Amino acid sequence: MATPPRPSASPAVAASPPALPPEVVAEWWTPFETYLASERRYSAYTVRNYRQAFEDFYRWLASPGVDRWSGGFDALGTREMRDFVIEAQQRFDRRTLHNHASGLRTFFRYWMSQGRLKRNPLLNIPLPKLEKRLPKFLTEEQMKLLLTGPQRLLENGGIDAHSAWRDRLAMELMYGGGLRVSELVALNYGAIDLDSGVARVLGKGRKERLCPLGQVALGVLKKFRESFAIDRGPDAPVLVNPNGRRMSVDAVQLMLKRYLALAGLPMDLTPHKLRHSYATHLLNAGADLRLVQELLGHSQLATTQLYTHVSMARLKEIYAKAHPRA
């Protein structure tokens, strides 16, 4: 197997890492990217993260003065991959390292299925343990404050009516339906039953699930559709810009920052935290854990169980403040 060329060394300190050789991208990355996007239906966010993992790994392998490329990918073994994990800990935190390792395992599995690699060199390579971090979420009062932001801006003349109703709809769907931001921007009118208020969502791994949207989100959806939608056909996107084009993930993220600032809430909160809030508020109100797992589209119950720890922490906090013997 031909050995991919090394990236050229830059004589000066660069502001960003050097680009990978085009032939490496074409031969090793592009087919894998097509597989991720077309067959696995991974979100653009996940594909981007896997690209970053691939680029970092290639630069490490082809770094000047270190010969790790003898024999190509097939020659990589336990020693090389352990070295990579050890050195990667100097560049990334543990969670990022785990995400990169996940992307690389998928990369190796793909090329094994194509007959170009004989083994997955990352298989059974130990990674540093992750710290257990509880999901961040907004309280019910904070959510109410956040969701009133578009209306307040509209009343003050700080935003046009289309954007105000569109922004509120985006947040209501994430909170009312527990949608991931990638699922949100991909939502078409044909996937929503307006009578029952249930959306058919295609989530991770092309798994389809039904998401009740709630009466409030459904009411905002109907208002936006009737007053602002240019195209109401089954293939028309729900969230659109004034010109009728589908809203992007980046646009949703920037939009949320605007309303977090308006509400005086932490600016590091992401659209996914609205999904965390959705799950936590359901469990706090007594929803069954298995039901919440189905609503979120989690394949593993352990993923959903993180939210029970959040709920328990909240209960302990209330107990400590309210009980005379606490």
Active site residues: 180, 204, 272, 275, 298, 307
d(CA 207, CA 41): 10
Rounded Cα gap, residues 40 and 270, in angstroms? 24
Residue 148 neighbours by CB under 8 Å, 6+ apart: none
**277-312 burial string, b = 16+ CB within 10 Å, else e?**
bbbbbbbbeeeeeeebbebbbbeeeeebebbeebbe
State both tokens at 208.
């389809």
Supply 73's token pair: 């990918």
**Cα 245 to Cα 164: distance, rounded to the nearest angstrom:** 16
Torsion sign, CA atoms 9, 10, 16, 22: negative
Q: Return d(Cα 170, Cα 241) in angstroms, integer.
A: 12
Phi and psi torsions of 311, nearest 5°: -65, -40
